[in-house]
Amino acid sequence: MAELYINEGDYQKALHYNSMADSCRSLLLHYMGDQLRVVQQRADIYFRMGNFEMTAVILRSVMDSVDERNLIETRNQLNELNAHYQIDRLRQEQQQDKEHTIYAFFTLVIVCMLLLVAVVVFFMHRIHKKNAQLLVVLDRSKESTRMKDSFVKHISHELRTPLHIITGFSQVMANPDYSLSTEARKDVVKRITDNTQLITSLINELLELSDEESRHNYAPDDEINVKRVCDEMIRQLEQADKGRLQVHYRIDVDDDFMIHNNLVGLKKILWHLGNNSLKFTENGSV
C-alpha cells in the first residue's frame, strides 16, 4: 500500500502505511528477507516530500545500524578466536600434567611441547595481524562516516537552489495565465535542463561517496601533461562561464612537464575549484 501511494504521489498516506509496516516489521522481514526495506522506503518517502534533512537522518541511522552489526560480528569472531586460544592453553596444561606422571615419555613430551609452542606462536601471530587489520578497517570506517556526514550536509544545501529554480520555472510553464514567447520558453526549458543536470551531477557524487570503495577507484596510474590539462580546464571553465569573467593561470614548469596521478580525479578537482571561484566572483577575473 505504501508503494502504491508513493506512485500516486500521496506521500502522507504512504508514510502512514510505512509506519504500519514498521510496527509489524518482524513479520514482514520474515517473508521479505530484507531487513532494511521498511527504513529505506521511509527515507524514499521523505526524499520525495522534499524533507532532505529527515532523509539524511534516516540514511545515517541505516549506516550506523550496518556499522554496528559489522562491529558485533567482528567482536564475535574475536571471542571465538580467544575461545580457541583458551582451549589450546588448557590442552597445554593437561599435557604438562601428563609429563610429570609419565617420565618414560619425557623426550617425546618435550618434542610435543615444542610443536605446540610453535602452533601457539603461529596463531598468536595471525591474531595480532588480524587485530591490526581490524584497526585499519575501523579507522577507515570512522573517516568514511565523517566524510559522508559532511558531504550530506553540503549536498542538501547545494540541492536547494536548483530545485527552487526548476520548481519556479515549471510553475511558470504550467500556468495558463502566463504567455511566453518562443525565445522565453526556450530560455526557461534550458534553465530547467541545466539545473536538472546539476542535480544529477550532485546525486551521482553522493552515490559515489556512499560507495566505501570509491576512494580506490582513482588509482594514480596516469602520466599527465600539466600544461595540457590546465589549458583544457581553462577552456571548459570559459565555456561554462560564457565569457563573463577572464580566466587564466600561471605555470612555473616546462610545457612538457609530466606528473604521475589520476587524470579523472585531477580534472574533477580542478573543475570544482575553478567553477566555485567563478560562482563567487561577480566581476574581474579568476
225 neighbors 258 (Cβ within 8 angstroms):
yes
Model pTM?
Answer: 0.39
Neighbour count for residue 187 (Cβ, 10 Å): 13
Give the pLDDT score at 31: 46
262-285 pLDDT, tens digit each: 998 899 889 989 988 998 898 889
* 32: confidence class by pLDDT, cuts 50, 70, 90: very low
pLDDT averaged over every residue in the chain: 82
Q: Does the structure show a pLDDT above 80 at 227?
A: yes
The mean pLDDT value for 198-217 works out to: 70
For the purposes of burial, counting CB atoms within 10 Å of the CB of 247, is it exposed (0-12), middle (13-18) or buried (19 or more)?
buried
For the CA atoms of 271, 276, 282, 286, the dihedral, rounded to the nearest 10 degrees, stands at -50
Give the pLDDT score at 214: 59
Give the pLDDT score at 209: 64
183-202 pLDDT, tens digit each: 888 888 888 888 888 788 77
Distance of CA 113 to the CA centre of its chain: 50
Provide the grid cell at 52.
532532505
Quote the CA–CA distance of 125 and 114 in Å, as a whole number: 16
Give the pLDDT score at 62: 72
83-110 pLDDT, tens digit each: 877 887 888 888 887 877 777 778 888 9
CA-based end-to-end distance of the chain: 54
123-171 pLDDT, tens digit each: 888 898 889 888 888 888 888 788 777 767 777 777 788 888 888 888 8
Quote the CA–CA distance of 249 and 268 in Å, as a whole number: 17
